[in-house]
Amino acid sequence: MIRRLAAFARPFAAPLALSTALRVVQLALGIGVLAVAVHAVALADRAGGGESPPGVAGALGLIALLALGKGAARYGEQYLGHWVAFSVLARLRTVFFDALARQAPGVLYQHRSGDLTARATADINRVEVFYAHTIAPAIAAAVVSLGAAGYLSAAAHPALAAILLAGAAVSGLAVPRLWRRRLQRTARQRQHTRGQIAAHITDTIGGLRELTQLRAVGHWQRHLGELDADAAARTRSLASRTAARRAANTAVFATTVCAVALAGAYLWQDGRLDRQAWWISVAIAVAMAPALTAVEAFAGEFGTTLAAAQRLFAVIDASPAPARPVQARPAVTARRPAGAAVRLRGVRFAYPGPAGEAAPVLGHIDLDLPAGSTTAVLGATGSGKSSLGYLLAGCLSPTAGAITLDDVDLRDIPDEELRRRVALADQRPFFFSGTIADNLRLARPGADEAELWHVIDAVELGDTVRALPDRLHTRLTERGANLSGGQSQRLSLAQALLRRPSLLICDEVTSQLDAATEARLLGRLHRELAGCTTVWITHRSATVHAADRVVVLEGGRITEPRPPNGSPHPGL
């Protein structure tokens, strides 16, 4: 995981290296400030009072210069380190979003939307600690410890250098490793619970009206309270273990300073170390505190950082939806008929479950949809009708078998080309906060207002939109909550028509319309979709009568294929 996180910082290696170098300089200058100060005190002590002895004034000036340099180095290190961190986070967000786009909509069957939001925000923000507060401090602590030990070995005594290095190794390596697994396990559990809390809150906001109507707000709040209690327990466990590790590190640091002081005093009495060297040795040991404290600080957050990274890569590494080529194949781009001929051969499909198990939906579908035909797909709830629609639209990939569009496998058609040729109108459409025109133009950004009015009229929404104060520029609230169910479905259909597709899949888009509106809509669409291959996933008799052919799904299989102009399914 550390290697993967470090790989994201590779494009920013130069500023990160400079930030690390500046941190080494900053820590070294901090040690220098204290060492020079002790040297000045030693000079004053040797002079025995009176006027300022020679060298003290120069030492004070050197301290001022070192302090200024330390401040400048710290500013540069912090600026570059955080610039790298936020640049990497921006790149990581892009990679995460690309992964979601590649896996959609299948990723939503494995993760709740609130949990995905938490991963894209809180978890990515948590990874910032690795780039801004881990790499440079860890490297700098090692370099400064070795440098300080080397100086003590040369200027004082090798035994003092060995004591200092041993203390730094125990504090920076042994103590964090002792608590590492327990902290990481607790951190993973807490991050998982926090993701559940985010998902629960998202569900609460989205379903607040339903919760109020069902008088279930209290029950929902109790469940949130249980999740909060679990997160609080994990946080307390994490805090107590972190506190224990920090106490251990504090004890190690204090022991190291005392050991350097006692060993130096022994060497001084033995005549192998002068008093000034002893003072400076103790000062250097004390001045190592910022380097070791920084290691302790990031070690305290490291378990949470890795837990957040694991949650991110669990999504990034998941199997994508069908990969598509970037460049269009000549056989596809050169052939743009009004209607597309679609063929399904041996198509099977199963939704992946949360634990990786597959939930079978469709089994061995063989079906031909002639170019320009209109097909009604019938079946009971759960028979696989909507899944078949998503497969035809290229949103999902068959578990087995193949779907071809004009003899080209859907998986071989580039995204942009597939988007131009195939459109899906969903029974539960999602609309973004913005105007009606903004949402329509998601289908075709360059569409002018005349084209927008044309599709609005084609779906029998013209009178409704013209009666609005701002007409096409009327703002939709979040998720299109200010639209009725029938208006939402027709607006989704208008989006699909704006694409001018060769293949149009309509999933229950007339289920919330009254009979009169549905009849007018079907009459307009019969003219609007002339020559377009159309698939109606429906249970409405009017839609079935308007189809050339009827296909019945039962248990994920075609059980009653009907010829063109066949009678509607029994019971409709």
CATH of the domain at 18: 1.20.1560.10
Helix (DSSP H) and strand (DSSP E) numbers for the chain: 22, 12
* H/E segment holding residue 361: strand 358-369
Quote the tokens at residue 465: 């939109």
Cα 206 → chain centroid: 21
Residue 405 CB neighbours (<10 A): 25
Q: Measure the CA–CA gap between 157 and 437, rounded to whole angstroms.
A: 78
Quote the tokens at residue 485: 């169910």
Q: Measure the CA–CA gap between 560 and 228, rounded to whole angstroms.
A: 52
Specify whether 84 is located in the same domain as 152. Answer: yes
Q: Measure the CA–CA gap between 190 and 303, rounded to whole angstroms.
A: 11
- Per DSSP, the three-state class of 186 is helix
Domain count across the chain: 2
Specify whether 381 is located in the same domain as 301. Answer: no
Specify whether 471 is located in the same domain as 394. Answer: yes
Quote the tokens at residue 394: 């290229």
The pLDDT value recorded for residue 473 is 85
Specify whether 284 is located in the same domain as 420. Answer: no
User: Quick check: is 489 in a domain?
Assistant: yes
Nearest Cα residue to 16 out of 179, 99, 134, 126: 134
User: Quick check: is 569 in a domain?
Assistant: no
Quote the tokens at residue 141: 């602590």
- The secondary structure of 504-555 as a DSSP string is EEEESTTTTS-HHHHHHHHHHHHHHTTTSEEEEE---HHHHHT-SEEEEEET
User: Which CATH number covers residue 462?
Assistant: 3.40.50.300
Specify whether 126 is located in the same domain as 31. Answer: yes
Specify whether 285 is located in the same domain as 151. Answer: yes
Specify whether 6 is located in the same domain as 94. Answer: yes
Residue 64 CB neighbours (<10 A): 11
Side-chain half-sphere exposure of 378, counting CA atoms within 13 A: 22
Burial label for 435, CB within 10 Å (0-12, 13-18, 19+), is middle
With a CB cutoff of 8 Å and minimum separation 6, the contacts of 28 are 144, 147
Specify whether 81 is located in the same domain as 24. Answer: yes
Q: Measure the CA–CA gap between 507 and 335, rounded to whole angstroms.
A: 27
337 and 405 Cβ atoms separated by less than 8 Å: no
Quote the tokens at residue 344: 């399904």
Quote the tokens at residue 7: 């790989």
User: Quick check: is 335 in a domain?
Assistant: no
Specify whether 353 is located in the same domain as 497. Answer: yes
Outline where DSSP puts E strands in 385-524.
400-405, 408-409, 422-425, 434-435, 475-476, 503-507
User: Quick check: is 324 in a domain?
Assistant: no
Do strands 408-409 and 400-405 pair parallel, antiparallel, or not at all (unpaired)?
Answer: antiparallel
User: Quick check: is 444 in a domain?
Assistant: yes
Specify whether 299 is located in the same domain as 425. Answer: no
Question: Domain span at residue 305?
Answer: 1-156+273-317
| Residue type for position 377 | V
Specify whether 49 is located in the same domain as 94. Answer: yes
Torsion of CA 529, 535, 539, 544, to 10 degrees: 60
Quote the tokens at residue 18: 């400079």
Quickly list H helices, 170-324. 175-206, 208-213, 217-269, 275-287, 289-316
| Residue type for position 108 | L
Q: Measure the CA–CA gap between 508 and 529, rounded to whole angstroms.
A: 17
Residue 504 CB neighbours (<10 A): 27
Residue 307 CB neighbours (<10 A): 23
Q: Measure the CA–CA gap between 506 and 376, rounded to whole angstroms.
A: 10
At residue 504, what are phi and psi to the nearest 5 degrees? -120, 125
249 and 175 Cβ atoms separated by less than 8 Å: yes
The pLDDT value recorded for residue 480 is 60
User: Quick check: is 542 in a domain?
Assistant: yes
Local mean pLDDT, 10-residue blocks, the chain (572 residues)? 86 91 90 82 64 68 90 92 90 86 68 78 84 84 87 87 88 77 78 81 70 69 84 84 83 89 87 83 85 74 81 78 49 49 85 61 83 82 80 81 84 79 81 80 82 84 82 75 74 83 83 77 79 81 73 77 48 38
With a CB cutoff of 8 Å and minimum separation 6, the contacts of 418 are 324, 394, 405, 410
Quote the tokens at residue 369: 């949809």
- Per DSSP, the three-state class of 347 is strand
User: Quick check: is 245 in a domain?
Assistant: no
171 and 253 Cβ atoms separated by less than 8 Å: yes
* H/E segment holding residue 346: strand 342-352
Quickly list H helices, 123-216. 124-133, 135-155, 158-169, 175-206, 208-213
Nearest Cα residue to 403 out of 235, 563, 533, 547: 533
At residue 553, what are phi and psi to the nearest 5 degrees? -105, 140
User: Quick check: is 530 in a domain?
Assistant: yes
Specify whether 292 is located in the same domain as 358. Answer: no
The pLDDT value recorded for residue 76 is 92
